[in-house]
Structure 1
Amino acid sequence: MNTQAVPDVSGEFDFSDAQFKVIAQLAYENFGLDLQPAKRSLVYSRLTRRLRALRLPNFKSYLDLLTGPDGAAEQSEMLSALTTNVTHFFREKHHFDQFRDLILPEAIKSARNGGRVRFWSAGCSAGQEPYSIAMCVLEACPDAARYDIRILATDVDPVILARAKAGLYLSEERDSLPADHKDRMTIAADRPGEFTLVPEVKNLVQFGLLNLVKEWPVRGPFQAIFCRNVAIYFDKLTQARLWSRFAPLLETEGMLFIGHSERISGPAISLFNSTGITSYRRNAQKAEMTSKTEISR
């Protein structure tokens, strides 16, 4: 193995192949991140910021921290540094159009008849996705608070999850909202240049910390699951397992929405039927045949 140290342009830190391999293994085992050698320079540039913030002299000290008895907290910081949390309200609008047209009418009808309605934003980032789902729900059912309707929003990154719970956004982010939503569903925040969502939107969303490559304390069934631009960080095997685990959690005719550059793969292909651009309906017959042992791996 070539362990020659590769400094950055400033010569500030050395970063060997062996050190990169340890970080890549930690990221894969704990979070499912697929850090191939081609991403080494990105890993280096992102993590040097952590070394500076922690006032560490070198990557050896950083690895000692990551692998030490108190390493879990820094591993979460590492994850936050290595992933990109860029999103906006109603991103990939065609998904929300399908959600409104194909899912909400029956879901709202069920709720009004005393049924349980659940939606899941798996990988909710800073919260724009689950809050967009909530706005769709309120648009279709203004009195949603009277019924058993909830949106579960989860993320593996506690830093970004805290931002999502706070629900504070820069004023320019209102531009991605439909015109009528800007007035009815947002309010000015305490700090100038920021806004937040009205309580009716926020109260529909419940946030939780969840690692998609570990066990899920999630039961379902869900009428819709949004898991968009999350699987791009995983290798093909981890992606295939993820899609297969979603299928049994969806209600009959429930839908899965994934990212624009993602595709259902592996055994899960038979568990879903495509309904448009990166949107899928559960194949109920096939999903029921998926063994619990297989989907829990």
Structure 2
Amino acid sequence: MITMNDREFKQLTDLIRCNYGISLSKEKKSLIIGRLHNILSKKGLNNFSEYYNYIISDKSGQAVIELINKITTNHTFFMREINHFNYFNSTVLPYLVSNVKNKDLRIWSAGCSTGEEPYTLAMIIADYLGINKQQWNTNILATDISSDVINYASKGLYSDDQVKPIPEKWKKNYFKKFDDGNSILVDRIKNEVIYRKFNLMENIFPFKKKFHVIFCRNVMIYFNEKTKHNLINKFYECTEQGGYLFIGYSESINHDKTKYKYIMPAIYRKE
């Protein structure tokens, strides 16, 4: 196993933190070595100094994409933190349907991972609007820094174990059998989600219109306080008045440093 000295660890983690906001402590060194070892072996690199030089000299950008794909943890599942989805269905959607006059719902799943979150939102919206669905634009923007998970999510294909937590009526209405052991979302749900690779550390978000709802759950646990505060401010600026922000239950926002109003655990609103 190739080892990593303190200088190499600092080089690599500074690169990741400065460009992607992800802070990795020294306790993560063995994890990083384990996840990157095969890359160094395949590239014929002798140490992490050579790997760092390989990344920064790669003009195609593929090397850093591969790095981010390896070091990010993309663990999620359908119906995760279900109280959020219940609140979205019982409170947020009724408010939006009553107040969005142009019937253009703008929802962003930031850090969407393998797609379970945005697809769940799409199914909730389809259920809620019913026969009126065709009158609305309800496309959901789903972004992540990992091209691997974006490619996975866009297929809408999940194992039977993955879809197990989903209500039976959703399995019946919104999935079809793909093969033994796998199911695929029907097109009318799969096409509701627009997947894009996007880095939340961009200084300026390029969106022309503001969002009514932003889900960014279990992403900021990797960020330091300054990075998290800056991101929350950028979210606020691209949230419609009366819009909502959902974060993970393991995350928190300093109420004195945000303009969002606290609604309930991990749910905030722009008022």
TM superposition score category, shorter chain reference: over 0.9
Q: Partners of 2:51 and 2:37 in 1: how far apart? A: 10
C-alpha spacing 1:194/1:53, structure 2 compared with 1 (3 Å): farther
Aligned equivalent of 2:116, options 121, 124, 128: 128
> Which structure's relative contact order is higher, taking Cα pairs within 8 Å and 6+ residues apart?
2
Contact 1:243–1:268 (Cα < 8 Å) also in 2: no
What secondary structure, in the 3-state scheme, does the structure 1 residue paired with 2:52 have?
A: helix
Letter in 2 for 1:114: N
1:167 alignment partner in structure 2: 156
2:266 matched to 1:278?
yes
Q: CA deviation at 1:71?
A: 6.2
Gaps of 5+ in 2: none
- Residue by residue over 1:122-175, the C-alpha shift from the partner in whole angstroms, topping out at 9 and shown as x without a partner, is 000011110001011001012424422221111111111111111111111111
Summarize the alignment of residues 1-297 of structure 1 with structure 2, pairs less than 5 Å apart: 12-70=1-59, 72-110=61-99, 114-143=102-131, 144-189=133-178, 191-214=179-202, 215-265=204-254, 268-269=257-258, 271-282=259-270, 284=271
When normalised by structure 2's length, the TM-score is: 0.93
Contact 2:205–2:234 (Cα < 8 Å) also in 1: no
Q: CA deviation at 1:193?
A: 1.5
RMSD between superposed Cα atoms in Å: 1.8
C-alpha spacing 1:72/1:265, structure 2 compared with 1 (3 Å): farther
Letter in 2 for 1:118: R
Letter in 1 for 2:116: Q
What secondary structure, in the 3-state scheme, does the structure 2 residue paired with 1:149 have?
A: coil
In the TM superposition, structure 1's runs of 4+ consecutive aligned residues that sit over 6 Å from their partners are: none
C-alpha spacing 1:268/1:149, structure 2 compared with 1 (3 Å): farther
What secondary structure, in the 3-state scheme, does the structure 2 residue paired with 1:45 have?
A: helix
Letter in 2 for 1:20: F
Over the matched positions of the two proteins, sequence identity in percent amounts to 32
C-alpha spacing 1:234/1:152, structure 2 compared with 1 (3 Å): same
C-alpha spacing 1:237/1:231, structure 2 compared with 1 (3 Å): same
Q: CA deviation at 1:205?
A: 1.0
What secondary structure, in the 3-state scheme, does the structure 1 residue paired with 2:130 have?
A: coil
Q: Partners of 1:212 and 1:267 in 2: how far apart? A: 23
- Residue by residue over 1:75-96, the C-alpha shift from the partner in whole angstroms, topping out at 9 and shown as x without a partner, is 1111121111010112100000
Q: Partners of 2:139 and 2:256 in 1: how far apart? A: 30
- Residue by residue over 1:204-248, the C-alpha shift from the partner in whole angstroms, topping out at 9 and shown as x without a partner, is 111111100113222332221100011111111000111111112
When normalised by structure 1's length, the TM-score is: 0.85
